[in-house]
């Protein structure tokens, strides 16, 4: 019987990895670079009441498209689908840079154009992130995959620090449009490298896209992202808008689950969740995103206000966190490749990350930058244990034909967790701050637009007043980390129940805990397409 095509590009894996790392860097860097350029964009276009949509549109496009790109890769071949996502991202970047230039309309429509084109860019970015993980899964067997995914985790860590620095340089020395145009040469290099060197195995599959499932999933995800973005900010949590969106999300996702049970080629096969490891790691990914992205948003705020760092320097002050994550990701990846064992790492990661969050609850007015840096190293080490190990476990829990869907689901749950984390911790921060002695300064009359104090004016406050305000801020921020502990502590508990399934030495082998029927199907093989 013919067997699935073996990877023919192993000698080129390092060259392909170079292209993949550029693509991942683009997806991770973009949002952070643009966030730095936003004040300049608002100054030029106006529309300050809509500027948050510049970020939301990108996040929405990325989150909605991630599971869809993953499934399309399973159906039509990873290479074609991934290169398409790169092209979509680059087209979106070029259009964003042209917003308000007169090509589509004047400056009066610039903000609307930018928001629309950011959604296009986000659609492409969703394919970049899930595609990189799935392609590594195609190129490298699970036993050897850890070290390569560790490198990708390192790129993600570097991008999180480099983003604000690059964005600040571009904003200060070039036009804000280059925050988007900078993607074009880098993306062009990635496109050329991958188009000419990447050769992936293909399989004959029935191409029947689950359009109804894709539509319902998109509606449900969009409603969830809007709830987490608008709740407590644009609208009250109990407002008709938020309750209506929550009801829409519930109805759409329930309908999605019913459709997926009958679809021949479901966008997100629900059978994946019957695998204990996949189900557990999906919840762990959600909690990781919840705690990491939610709480990490408050570290720069603490550094810029309480510790008095500039926006650029606050990016540099995150280096200890990223250093811890980078080093541990690389070490763990190599250890998994050498030993083939991984169960201990998510358990250790959950414990260390919880310890890091616990240390961050001690942040106050007197905490030095050295001490806070040590706290961040501990948190980074914990995240380093978890970042790519969770993806590896998810991929090792499914058959190769479902690799894209599994990678998309793992990325999706982490992203959704981040959205919920940002929203919930933002509400916790705001409520704690309002109840503090600094609350009146932020409730109104503080000189900020819409009753919010302009934090740039903190230095102008008199000593005693400034100390009260900064004390309230540091207390509210440490309170956020206190609540984050309640979520991170669940990670090692869930990880304890992960089953140590041997990592497959070849991509065409079924999971070790697969059913006898799945193993029999894999033994028959699937006809490869050249």
Q: How confident is the model at residue 530 (pLDDT cuts 50, 70, 90)?
A: very low
**Spatial distance between the Cα atoms of 474 and 264, rounded to a whole number of angstroms:** 53
Q: What is the pLDDT of residue 445?
A: 40
Report yes or no: 294 and 418 within 8 Å, Cβ to Cβ.
yes
Q: What is the pLDDT of residues 54-83, one digit of tens each?
A: 777 887 888 888 888 888 887 777 888 889
Write down the CATH number for the domain with range 11-198.
Answer: 1.20.1250.20
**Spatial distance between the Cα atoms of 362 and 374, rounded to a whole number of angstroms:** 12
Report residue 43 as tokens.
Answer: 């100054």
Q: How confident is the model at residue 529 (pLDDT cuts 50, 70, 90)?
A: very low
Fold of 273-500: Growth Hormone; Chain: A; (1.20.1250)
523: helix, strand or coil:
helix
**Spatial distance between the Cα atoms of 168 and 154, rounded to a whole number of angstroms:** 22
Q: What is the pLDDT of residue 519?
A: 44
Print burial letters for 28-47: b (CB count within 10 Å at least 16), e (below 16).
Answer: bbbbbbbbbbbeebbeebeb
Q: What is the pLDDT of residues 250-301, one digit of tens each?
A: 998 899 888 888 877 777 777 888 888 888 988 998 888 888 776 667 787 7
Q: What is the pLDDT of residue 60?
A: 80
DSSP assignments along 30-63, one per residue: HHHHHHHHHHHHHHHH--GGGTHHHHHHHHHHHH
Report yes or no: 59 and 414 within 8 Å, Cβ to Cβ.
no
Sign of CA dihedral 458, 318, 292, 139: positive
- Geometric angle at alpha carbon 452, from 451 and 458, rounded to 5°: 130
Q: What is the pLDDT of residues 10-36, one digit of tens each?
A: 446 777 878 888 887 877 777 667 766
**Spatial distance between the Cα atoms of 389 and 133, rounded to a whole number of angstroms:** 12
Q: Are strands 528-529 and 202-203 parallel, antiparallel or unpaired?
A: antiparallel
Helices 211-230 and 52-76, axial angle in degrees (round to 10): 160
Q: What is the pLDDT of residue 3?
A: 41
Report yes or no: 267 and 67 within 8 Å, Cβ to Cβ.
yes
Q: What is the pLDDT of residues 421-479, one digit of tens each?
A: 777 787 788 778 777 665 555 554 433 333 344 455 555 656 677 777 778 888 888 88
Residues of the chain with CATH 1.20.1250.20: 11-198, 273-500
CA proximity to 200, closest of 73, 352, 313: 73
Q: What is the pLDDT of residues 81-118, one digit of tens each?
A: 889 999 999 999 999 888 877 666 555 677 788 888 98
Q: What is the pLDDT of residue 27?
A: 76
CA proximity to 289, closest of 438, 422, 452: 422
Q: What is the pLDDT of residues 313-334, one digit of tens each?
A: 666 677 788 788 888 888 887 8
- What percent of the chain is predicted at pLDDT more than 70? 75
Q: What is the pLDDT of residues 194-213, one digit of tens each?
A: 888 877 765 545 566 778 88
Q: What is the pLDDT of residue 87?
A: 93
Mean pLDDT of the chain: 76
């Amino acid at each position: 019987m013919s067997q699935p095509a073996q990877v023919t590009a192993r000698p080129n894996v390092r060259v392909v990895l170079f292209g993949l790392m550029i693509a991942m860097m683009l997806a991770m860097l973009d949002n952070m670079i643009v966030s730095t350029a936003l004040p300049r964009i608002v100054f030029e276009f106006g529309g300050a009441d809509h500027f948050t949509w510049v970020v939301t549109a990108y996040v929405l496009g990325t989150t909605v498209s991630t599971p869809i790109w993953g499934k399309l890769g399973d159906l039509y071949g990873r290479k074609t689908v991934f290169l398409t996502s790169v092209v979509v991202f680059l087209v979106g970047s070029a259009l964003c840079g042209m917003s308000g230039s007169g090509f589509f309309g004047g400056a009066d429509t610039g903000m609307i154009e930018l928001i629309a084109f950011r959604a296009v860019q986000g659609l492409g970015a969703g394919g970049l992130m899930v595609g990189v993980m799935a392609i590594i899964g195609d190129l490298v067997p699970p036993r050897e995959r850890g070290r390569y995914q560790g490198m990708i985790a390192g790129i993600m860590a570097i991008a999180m620090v480099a983003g604000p620095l690059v964005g600040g340089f571009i904003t200060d020395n070039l036009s804000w449009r280059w925050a988007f145009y900078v993607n074009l040469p880098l993306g062009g290099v990635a496109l050329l490298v991958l188009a000419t060197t990447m050769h992936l195995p293909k399989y004959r599959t029935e191409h029947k896209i689950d359009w109804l499932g894709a539509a319902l999933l998109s509606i449900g995800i969009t409603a969830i992202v809007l709830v987490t973005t608008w709740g407590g900010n644009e609208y009250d949590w109990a407002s008709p808008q938020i309750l209506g969106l929550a009801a829409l999300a519930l109805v759409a996702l329930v309908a999605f689950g019913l459709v997926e049970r009958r679809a021949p080629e479901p966008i997100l096969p629900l059978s994946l969740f019957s695998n204990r490891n996949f189900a557990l790691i999906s919840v762990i990914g959600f909690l990781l995103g919840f705690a990491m992205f939610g709480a990490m948003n408050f570290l720069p705020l603490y550094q810029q206000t309480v510790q008095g760092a500039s926006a650029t320097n606050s990016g540099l002050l995150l280096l200890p966190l990223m250093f811890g994550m980078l080093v541990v990701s690389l070490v763990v990846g190599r250890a998994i490749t050498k030993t083939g064992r991984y169960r201990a790492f998510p358990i250790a990661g959950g414990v260390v990350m919880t310890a890091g969050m616990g240390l961050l609850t001690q942040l106050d007015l007197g905490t030095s930058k050295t001490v806070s840096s040590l706290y961040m190293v501990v948190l980074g080490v914990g995240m380093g244990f978890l970042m790519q190990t969770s993806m590896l476990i998810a991929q090792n829990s499914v058959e190769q034909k479902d690799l894209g869907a599994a990678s998309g689901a793992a990325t999706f749950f982490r992203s959704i967790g981040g959205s919920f984390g940002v929203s919930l911790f933002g509400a916790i921060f705001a409520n704690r701050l309002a109840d503090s002695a600094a609350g009146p300064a932020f409730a109104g009359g503080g000189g900020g637009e819409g009753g919010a104090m302009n934090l740039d004016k903190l230095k102008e406050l008199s000593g005693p007043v400034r100390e009260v305000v900064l004390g309230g801020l540091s207390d509210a921020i440490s309170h956020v980390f206190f609540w984050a502990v309640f979520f991170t502590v669940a990670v090692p508990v869930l990880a304890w129940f992960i089953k140590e399934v041997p990592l497959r030495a070849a991509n065409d082998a079924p999971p070790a805990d697969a059913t006898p029927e799945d193993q029999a199907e894999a033994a028959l093989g699937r006809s490869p397409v050249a």
